[in-house]
Structure 1
Amino acid sequence: MLITGECFCGSVKYQIDGKLKDARSCHCSRCRKTFSAQASAYALVDVDDFSWIQGQDLLTSYESMPNFGLQFCSKCGSTLCGTHNGEVHGVTLGCINGDPDIEIGYHLFVGSKASWEVIPPGITAFTEGPTDSN
């Protein structure tokens, strides 16, 4: 399966020659600020399946925690991917073109969600990470 994605202005593009895994939405304050939204939408990718096809020189990186970071388009600001130890770890689902053939499986850190967000009933949600007692 070939999946493509790009930033808002179209200057940075990538492809994934494989499937996405472990899609999730995180509601912590860091993800809300990173994505300028109520939560993130993110899925893991095998680094060997991922390649930049245009505009890699326009990427800006930010390491939010030791060994973990994000990469953005320096022109439009779109958050494109997450990194671990300097390699692509996963992609933001909002920048994918077409149907990536994956659904968000669970929601993390709903205990620290924005006060104005309403979590729909019936979804798999964790107060913190997936190891908490929910």
Structure 2
Amino acid sequence: MNQDKLYQGSCFCGAVRIRLTSDPVVMGYCHCESCRHWSAGPVNAFTLWKPESLQVVEGDDHIGSFNKTPQSIRKWCKSCGGHLFTEHPEWGLVDVYAAVIDDFAFQPSVHVHYQETVLPIRDGLPKMQDVPAEMGGSGVTLNE
């Protein structure tokens, strides 16, 4: 991880601005129904970071939150509805949606919850049935 890295991003209207330091722990695609429903897309591009890497630099009072489950506390801008990030306290990580980070070179390395996919993607990356065992999943990899 490069501690000299600095990334910036914002919600759709720009009322909430974020800063990320270092590089993400991992990047990939989530195919679970919850992420698909939240993102309004067939797959969600995620970037997982250590929580201390994320700073809200503007608009903290504009951030709304919802947690459907204890594993995911989703954050969005109350002004425009733009999605920002999801806290995953049990994993000690925060998912900053790749699309909200300015000039970010998204480099996925894995697909998670692939058993729920509605959009099969043949890209040669590992396809996890759920999540890695170290995150509480089965660790099972599916065929492409």
User: What is the match of residue 132 of structure 1?
Assistant: 140
Cα distance between partner residues in 2 of 1:83 and 1:129: 16
Identical-residue share of aligned pairs (%): 22
Seen in structure 2, the aligned counterparts of structure 1 residues 68 and 121 have a Cα distance that, compared at 3 Å, is closer
Tell me whether 1:15 sits opposite 2:28 in the alignment.
no
SS in 1 for 2:125: coil
In structure 1, what is the equivalent of residue 63 of structure 2? 59
Instruction: Say what the alpha-carbon RMSD is for the aligned residues.
Output: 2.0
Q: Distance in 1 between matches of 2:117 and 2:141?
A: 18
Contact residue 126 and residue 141 of structure 2 kept, 8 A? no
2:83 matched residue in structure 1 = 79
Supply the AA of the counterpart residue of 1:124: P
- Is contact 1:50–1:88 with CA below 8 Å preserved after alignment? no
Instruction: Give the Cα–Cα distance (whole angstroms) in 2 for the partners of residues 16 and 121 of structure 1.
Output: 28
- 3-state SS of paired residue (1:9): coil
The 1:107/1:97 distance shift into structure 2, 3 A limit, reads same
- Give the CA deviation at 1:124: 1.7
- Contact 1:25/1:104, CA 8 A, preserved across alignment: yes
Deviations 1:17-64 (A, max 9, x none): 211121121111111011111111111212222211111101110112
Q: Count how many residue pairs are aligned between Structure 1 and Structure 2.
A: 131
User: Do the aligned residues in 2 keep the contact of 1:81 with 1:88 (CA within 8 Å)?
Assistant: no
The structure with higher relative contact order (CA 8 Å, sep 6+) is 1
Q: Structure 2: which 5+ residue stretches go unaligned? A: 133-138
Retained in 1: the 8 A contact 2:127–2:141? no
- TM-score, normalised with respect to structure 1: 0.86
Query: Gapped runs of 5+ residues in structure 1?
Result: none
Runs of 4+ residues deviating >6 angstroms = none
TM-score, normalised with respect to structure 2: 0.81
Alpha-carbon spacing, 1:27–1:120, altered in 2? closer, same or farther (3 Å) = same
